[in-house]
A = this chain, B = another copy of it.
Amino acid sequence: MTTSTLTNEPSPEIEFWFEFGSNYSYLTVMRIENEAERSGVRIVWKPFLLGPIFQALGMKTSPFVLQKEKGTYVQQDMVRQCAKYGLPPWVPPSTFPRLGVLPLRVALLGEDQPWIGAFCREVMLLNFARDQDINTPEQIAPILGKLGLPVADVLAQAQAEATKARLRQQTDEARSLGIFGAPTFFVGKEMFWGNDRLEDALLFAARRKDIRPAER
């Protein structure tokens, strides 16, 4: 629980709910650490599974797949958004949405660790800049190695029952919070949806130093 890491001193916080299969989560993952630091806001990383959320809402997969017109548009939009944020040129993933259960479990283990941001960025680049699968130990191990982590230990812990259960719980929590897409931000009870709302959410957090997600 994130509450265990809170100090008595009020510090502005933003909950960042994200999924490795989500292209708009990609945009946020690549920039949130810089933006949050600039705003003096602490990030509470909240990896979760989007698939069960969509299913609970009656959708078999991403709306970008279900709605052809929207899907076509999103490809145009991603080209421009990647350019806007100085990211590598957009490469439409040959599989979409990609399953990212394994890296989500690793992210759960790392949610309070200094490597969480760098890990998430590497996974996202694999999916959205290099069009690679992200759900196998073979793809994730090199990232962990590059970060100087004990690869076998982290992978074993990520695949332990307790971690699997935590990811399911976190996904249930997302659903109970009314989350319907990713990325989603919470500042206290206020929900902000979409990469386009990152700046608004950070500003809201910075202005309301006394409100933390834990107090929701």
Name the interface residues of A48-105: CB closer than 8 Å to any CB of B. Answer: 57, 67, 69-70, 72-73, 76-77, 80, 84
Chain B residues in 8 Å Cβ range of A178:
69, 72-73
Q: Is A191's CB within 8 Å of the partner chain B?
A: yes
Chain B residues in 8 Å Cβ range of A192:
77
**CB proximity of A8 to chain B, nearest CB, Å:** 29
Chain B residues in 8 Å Cβ range of A191:
73, 76
Nearest B residue to A74, CB-CB: B193
Q: Is A115's CB within 8 Å of the partner chain B?
A: no
* Chain multiplicity (copies): 2
Q: Is A200's CB within 8 Å of the partner chain B?
A: yes
In the complex, the answer to whether A67 meets B57 with C-beta atoms within 8 Å is yes
Name the interface residues of A193-215: CB closer than 8 Å to any CB of B. Answer: 193-194, 196-197, 200, 204
**CB proximity of A48 to chain B, nearest CB, Å:** 14
Could you tell me how many residues of chain A have their Cβ less than 8 Å away from some Cβ of chain B? 23
Chain B residues in 8 Å Cβ range of A67:
57, 180
Counting chain B CB atoms within 10 Å of each CB, which of A67, A69, A72, A180 scores highest?
A: A69
Chain B residues in 8 Å Cβ range of A200:
80, 84
**CB proximity of A76 to chain B, nearest CB, Å:** 6
Nearest B residue to A59, CB-CB: B67
**CB proximity of A172 to chain B, nearest CB, Å:** 14
Chain B residues in 8 Å Cβ range of A204:
80
